[in-house]
Amino acid sequence: MSHDVIELARVFVNDYHNIDLKCLPLFRQLMSGMECEPCNRLDKKSSAVQWCMSCHEQLCLECGSYHKALTATKDHSLITTKQYEAILPILKSVEIKCCHHSEKDLEYVCKEHECFCCILCKREKHEACRKVEKIEESISETDLTSELKNMSSRCEHADDNLSKLTYSTDVNMVNLDKAKDEIFHQMEIHGVKINHALDTIENDMKQEINKSFRVEKNKLRKQKNEYRKKKAELEKEQEMIHTMLETDIKSNKHMFLVQRNIQNKLNSNELLVENFVSSFQIIASNCRVGTSIDKESGSVKFTKTIEFNRNHCKFDLQSLPTEDEHEETASSTVEAEGIVPLDKFQKKGSDTEIPDFKISPVSTNYIFNYKRNIFLASTNASSNNVHFIKTISEKSLVVWASSETYLLFFNTESKEESKIYLQYSPSSIAIVDKNTIAVAACRQIVFVNTQTFTCMHIVNIDDHCFGIAFIKNQLFVNCESKGLKVMDVKGNVSKSFKNITGKLQLCLLNSRIIAIAKQGCCSIIFLNISTSSMSTINLPGSEIPNCMTSFGDNILLVSTSNNQVFKVNIDFENWRLIINAICKNDQLYGIDFDKYSNELFLMNKSGCHVYIFDRCKLF
């Protein structure tokens, strides 16, 4: 090995305070080819496997054994290269030079000021101090191994306390959820006494309660994060202590400084954990709702109380389980959540006005009349995400966004909102039966039970999926590059339309025809799944469909530019403008028609407002 390489390796040991830890891979490479320095001086070649912490030399096994036998070097500490690499970060973090006189070593410890100093600092600042000793004198009084074991035990104790505090916080949050659910149950009992005209008031109250509970839970989450952060720091310190214990390092000045540095950190962390314990509070809710109905005057009064009480909790930490013992692992694919995190909410709806709907007849017999609107509390009005909507039963809607990993279910009767989280963002939904939907998400088709909000099973696809439709026990899945595939619910492909590619939206018209809209195109393709024949209808001007839904054997679609709803007749290949929404600060996007209730649902782009229309006969 060349002299330059040997000198470079020596720098790693002699000047480790100035080493960038990113250079450790180079250090390993150098160490793997190092030669024993004593042998080298005797013109012999032997591979070095150890470092002397005192001599700063690399030694082979034979020289290492002589090193331990000689009187002058028998007390030197020899470590392997792997051990040196393990403790290098802590060695690097502790200075042995004086911070005021960089050319001087730290030689003294002042027990009155609890600090280390060099000979110059001793003369300048500690001349009057009576308890100033040489560091070497303190080293002989310190059992490094015993001190490290003690600090490891203290680390473990503080770590256990943090785990138990974290678990208690989780229990506290669960109890808050139960309390919130109880409040909502009371609201439902009293809500049956109230006329439907109070729906808006009830919605506002739910939002306020949700917000209050979210604020309290987020305080607990912040508290829990502080526990976890400090727990991670303690685990890192404990791992470092264990590494040092395993190396069986002898006491010296540097290691004494290291030990004191770790001890000071541990003292600070223990004090912080004790403060956590002493200040720990249980948050209990004192929330009530009620109604007062005067039939003679026809007045209805809805009352509410939202309060939270904080009580200091004096409990035995030893009797509580740690977080690791009770932490449940959630599904990696889909999980239900009743509360949306506070940082997902923003003030919304305050600057959004209901559009002015200019409505034209759908046909000579029917017209859509605006009925009401629904405000969805769990969506973000300021979001740039595009939202879609589909009715999955007479009283239930599902809303999703192509860049969010959740589905939002809304009960139009009880006004309840529920979320389930997916592994990937949903792009399209097909109704399989009254309790099941199929969701296209990335390279998967996820089957979700709409009653229990759970994942039933997953079909993996070898391409990115976008549009999806279900008919006659068959799924039609739009694969971006491999075409439109026909498969059963287990993923067995029976047919492919390889020339129908891209990001597509699929709309089932009847048992024979599927409407296909390609992203960014101003035309619609109609595919006959029996004959495989296709026809195309171009939209007027440069209109591009945002979203579409079946309406008998016709299509209703929302255009991109003008907030307009068109009816497209595929037999006569013509179109009719039926709704023109005049919006100051909103944009329509999602659309769906429920043939069972004869209601048309329009959703604004941000997904916080759903506008409902009734199909009525013309007189």
* pLDDT for the residue numbered 343: 36
Contact present, 258 and 90 (Cβ < 8 Å): yes
* pLDDT for the residue numbered 429: 93
Read off the pTM: 0.45
Contact present, 372 and 592 (Cβ < 8 Å): no
**Band of residue 572 on the pLDDT scale cut at 50, 70, 90:** low
Q: How many residues make up the chain in this entry?
A: 619
Contacts of 506 (CB under 8 A, 6+ apart): 428, 467, 468, 469, 476, 478, 514, 515, 516
Mean pLDDT of the chain: 80
- Whole-angstrom CA distances from 75 to 39, 54, 69, 85 are 21, 9, 9, 21
Q: Which single residue is written with the structure tokens 């223990």? A: 270
* pLDDT for the residue numbered 494: 92
Q: How far apart are CA 63 and CA 43, in angstroms?
A: 14
Q: Which of 119-128, 202-211, 457-466, 474-483 has the lowest mean pLDDT?
A: 202-211
Tell me the range of 191-195, 353-357, 494-498 where mean pLDDT is highest. Answer: 494-498
Tell me the range of 310-324, 432-446, 537-551 where mean pLDDT is highest. Answer: 432-446
The dihedral formed by the CA atoms of 227, 232, 18 and 39, expressed in degrees to the nearest 10 = 150
Q: How far apart are CA 314 and CA 304, in angstroms?
A: 31
Domain 342-617: homologous superfamily in CATH: YVTN repeat-like/Quinoprotein amine dehydrogenase (2.130.10.10)
**Band of residue 5 on the pLDDT scale cut at 50, 70, 90:** very low
**Band of residue 382 on the pLDDT scale cut at 50, 70, 90:** low
Residue-wise pLDDT tens digits, 587-614: 888 899 988 888 999 988 777 788 999 9
Q: What are phi and psi of 236, to 5 degrees?
A: -65, -45
Using the predicted structure, report yes or no on whether residue 332 has a pLDDT greater than 70.
no
* pLDDT for the residue numbered 380: 59
Q: Identify the three-state secondary structure at position 31.
A: helix
Share of the chain above pLDDT 90, in %: 19
Q: How far apart are CA 537 and CA 87, in angstroms?
A: 72
**In the chain, which residues fall in CATH 2.130.10.10?**
342-617
Q: How far apart are CA 415 and CA 618, in angstroms?
A: 31
Q: What average pLDDT does the segment 55-69 reach?
A: 88
Q: How far apart are CA 377 and CA 342, in angstroms?
A: 12
Residue-wise pLDDT tens digits, 7-37: 544 544 445 445 454 454 545 544 555 788 9
Contact present, 511 and 472 (Cβ < 8 Å): yes
Q: How far apart are CA 448 and CA 532, in angstroms?
A: 30
Contact present, 51 and 81 (Cβ < 8 Å): yes
Q: What average pLDDT does the segment 509-522 reach?
A: 86
List of E strands, 143-228: none
Q: What average pLDDT does the segment 110-133 reach?
A: 90
For residue 413, the tally of other CB atoms under 10 A from its CB is 8
Q: What average pLDDT does the segment 481-488 reach?
A: 92
Q: How many CA atoms lie within 13 A of 119 on its CB side?
A: 3
Q: How far apart are CA 64 and CA 372, in angstroms?
A: 87
295 DSSP 8-state letter: T
When comparing pLDDT for 451 and 562, which is higher? Answer: 451
Q: How far apart are CA 306 and CA 288, in angstroms?
A: 7
Q: Choose among 431, 424, 432, 383: nearest CA to 407.
A: 424
Element (H, E) at 9: helix 3-14
* pLDDT for the residue numbered 130: 87
Contact present, 463 and 479 (Cβ < 8 Å): yes
Q: How far apart are CA 437 and CA 435, in angstroms?
A: 7
Q: Choose among 44, 38, 83, 42: nearest CA to 63.
A: 38
Q: How far apart are CA 501 and CA 484, in angstroms?
A: 7
Q: Which token pair is 409?
A: 């279910």
Using the predicted structure, report yes or no on whether residue 356 has a pLDDT greater than 80.
yes
* pLDDT for the residue numbered 340: 37
Q: Identify the three-state secondary structure at position 164.
A: helix
Q: What average pLDDT does the segment 331-347 reach?
A: 37
3-state secondary structure 346-380: CCCCCCCCCCEEEECCCCCCEEEEEEEEEECCCCC
Q: What average pLDDT does the segment 224-244 reach?
A: 85
**Band of residue 339 on the pLDDT scale cut at 50, 70, 90:** very low
Q: Choose among 489, 506, 208, 390: nearest CA to 497.
A: 506
Q: How far apart are CA 170 and CA 149, in angstroms?
A: 32
Q: What average pLDDT does the segment 250-257 reach?
A: 80
Please give the angle made by the CA atoms of 458, 461 and 465, to the nearest 5 degrees. Answer: 100
When comparing pLDDT for 18 and 93, which is higher? Answer: 93
Tell me the range of 9-13, 257-261, 523-527 where mean pLDDT is highest. Answer: 523-527
Q: What average pLDDT does the segment 307-326 reach?
A: 58
Q: What average pLDDT does the segment 395-408 reach?
A: 85
Using the predicted structure, report yes or no on whether residue 330 has a pLDDT greater than 50.
no
Contact present, 599 and 612 (Cβ < 8 Å): yes
The dihedral formed by the CA atoms of 54, 56, 62 and 68, expressed in degrees to the nearest 10 = 0
Q: Choose among 248, 240, 246: nearest CA to 266.
A: 240
Q: At what angle do helices 144-191 and 253-279 cross, to 10 degrees?
A: 20
Using the predicted structure, report yes or no on whether residue 302 has a pLDDT greater than 60.
yes
Q: How far apart are CA 299 and CA 375, in angstroms?
A: 25
* pLDDT for the residue numbered 256: 81
Residue-wise pLDDT tens digits, 204-223: 888 888 888 888 888 888 88
Q: What are phi and psi of 101, to 5 degrees?
A: -130, 90
Residues linked to residue 581 through DSSP beta bridges, in sequence order: 357
When comparing pLDDT for 217 and 201, which is higher? Answer: 217
Q: What average pLDDT does the segment 87-100 reach?
A: 78
Q: How far apart are CA 24 and CA 17, in angstroms?
A: 13
* pLDDT for the residue numbered 161: 93
Using the predicted structure, report yes or no on whether residue 440 has a pLDDT greater than 90.
yes
Tell me the range of 162-171, 454-463, 503-512, 609-618 where mean pLDDT is highest. Answer: 162-171
Q: How far apart are CA 166 and CA 221, in angstroms?
A: 10
- Whole-angstrom CA distances from 484 to 66, 245, 427, 504 are 77, 63, 15, 9
* pLDDT for the residue numbered 452: 85
Contact present, 565 and 591 (Cβ < 8 Å): yes
